[in-house]
Amino acid sequence: MTKKRPALSKETEIVHGVHDAHVTSMDLVAPIHMTSAFRFKNSGHGAALFSGTQQGYIYSRISNPTVSLLEEKMALLEKGEAAVAASSGMAAIASTVMTLAKPGDNFISCTTVYGGTFAFFNQRLRHFNIETRFITPAEACKPGSIEALIDSKTRFLFMETPANPTLDILDIRMWVDIARRRRIPLVVDNTFATPYLQNPIAMGADMVIHSATKYIGGHADIIGGVAVGKKSVIDRIKEEYVHYFGPIMSPFNAWLFLRGIKTLAVRMEKHCANAMAVANFLGAHPKILKVYHPGLPSHPGHNTAKAQMKHFGAMMAFEVRGGIEAGKKVMDSVRVCTLAVSLGDCDTLIQHPASMTHSTYSKAEREKAGITDGLIRLSVGIESADDIIADLGNALSLLKSK
């Protein structure tokens, strides 16, 4: 008999998650089900599984116990009914968009999103006659500006907060009010915040998407994506796209994500504390023009972030005096920070959005999104904050004083 589990704190849920799910023995850690297919007890059993009159596993492209466990855990942490795991964050986004919108439809997105997301929205979806109606970060804070873009063919709203790479903060509850009033879903990319810092579904959003590659995995060694929402919608995403287009997550990657999740709370506490120390250091440095981090009271989204996030996150951006050449000097001179794209790793990562992650934008599109040529993005890791600050300080000391 399974013991009833008491109500748990978020930290304990992150470690324990779903109870006794798919455990076939007394394993402390759930096993990896590395199999392409599953045996049937008899022909009747196989027929019942295929007809859907009996629950079980048939083929790992359709479902797998290890992947199912990750999906259940992500649904639990994001407070949704169900989840679907995919081969990458982009696979999760693409499968969700193609499920919610059909040829002739449109949806609304802020211009400031991950570069791969922007390219998919701005370029690839045109081939499917699906229109993305972009709104600038400034207009995304005005309900009237958002509603002015909605018509009878608008199928959903899409937002990313904190936004990549400018750390714009959008008011989730304001967007929820619009979505409910217009009876369309709100989809939130929660990659930067993680379910430990922010739960959009609990605030009224319909769906949450993660590039699990980042903080969910936490160690820069796996690629994957997850979408969480109502079971009816998640079932459609699985059945209409993931099962047939095949962007599935492997059981081994699902197992690695489950392992990564166990340390999510302790990692995020360290990430966030380090980031706040680094933001304060950069904010006071004479060779820094501007720091973009919602934890700083000077950030325009500070109060909104404070209301909807547990902490302010580990991502930031900054601009140095001297423009892009000075920025290159800083990136090429660091020794503790690593010059690499991606984020959410234990290591501190530094990169140049305009020439790297957001090179999919034209210069005009970058300017509209607030991504300047001199912007440097920093994913603050879990090293000693003093060492990160000393490294950045040494690199900044090499710049000429004005």
**DSSP label at 30?**
P
Write the pLDDT tens digit of every residue in 231-253. Answer: 999 999 999 999 999 999 999 99
- Of residues 4 and 204, the one with the higher pLDDT is 204
User: Is 214 one of the annotated active-site residues of the chain?
Assistant: yes
Arithmetic mean of pLDDT over the chain: 94
Catalytic residue among 105, 168, 171, 189: 189
Please state the rounded mean pLDDT for residues 340-359: 92
Does the residue 312 lie in any domain?
Answer: yes
Write the pLDDT tens digit of every residue in 266-301. Answer: 999 999 999 999 999 999 999 999 999 999 999 999
261, 296, 313 - which closes a domain: 261
pLDDT (0 to 100) of residue 400: 84
pLDDT (0 to 100) of residue 367: 84
- Of residues 19 and 394, the one with the higher pLDDT is 394
- Of residues 219 and 374, the one with the higher pLDDT is 219
pLDDT (0 to 100) of residue 357: 86
Does the residue 110 lie in any domain?
Answer: yes
201, 226, 261 - which closes a domain: 261
Percent pLDDT > 90 in the chain is 84
- Please say if the pLDDT value at position 3 is more than 90: no
pLDDT (0 to 100) of residue 1: 44
Number of domains in the chain: 2
Domain identity same for 215 and 328? no
Contact 82, 228 (CB under 8 A): yes
- Least Cα distance to 10 among 156, 199, 177 occurs for 199
Catalytic residue among 5, 41, 59, 61: 61
Domain identity same for 31 and 107? yes
Please state the rounded mean pLDDT for residues 41-61: 95
Contact 79, 202 (CB under 8 A): yes
Q: Where are the alpha helices (DSSP H) in 101-207?
A: 115-122, 143-147, 172-182, 194-197
- Please say if the pLDDT value at position 2 is more than 90: no
Domain identity same for 54 and 199? yes
Does the residue 117 lie in any domain?
Answer: yes
pLDDT (0 to 100) of residue 355: 86
CATH number where 88 lies: 3.40.640.10
User: Is 189 one of the annotated active-site residues of the chain?
Assistant: yes
- Please say if the pLDDT value at position 216 is more than 70: yes
Catalytic residue among 114, 196, 241, 292: 114
User: Is 290 one of the annotated active-site residues of the chain?
Assistant: no
Beta-carbon contacts of 288 under 8 Å, excluding residues fewer than 6 positions away, are: 282, 318, 319, 320, 321, 396
- Please say if the pLDDT value at position 183 is more than 70: yes
Least confident of 1-5, 51-55, 97-101, 138-142: 1-5
Contact 256, 222 (CB under 8 A): yes
User: Is 57 one of the annotated active-site residues of the chain?
Assistant: no
Residue-range definition of the domain harbouring residue 97: 18-261
Pairing mode, strands 349-351 and 375-379: antiparallel
DSSP helix, strand, coil percent of the chain (3-state; round to 5): 40, 15, 45
Give the whole-angstrom CA distance, residue 210 versus residue 268. Answer: 16
Catalytic residue among 73, 214, 238, 267: 214
- Please say if the pLDDT value at position 330 is more than 60: yes
Domain identity same for 294 and 383? yes
Domain identity same for 57 and 144? yes
- Please say if the pLDDT value at position 177 is more than 80: yes
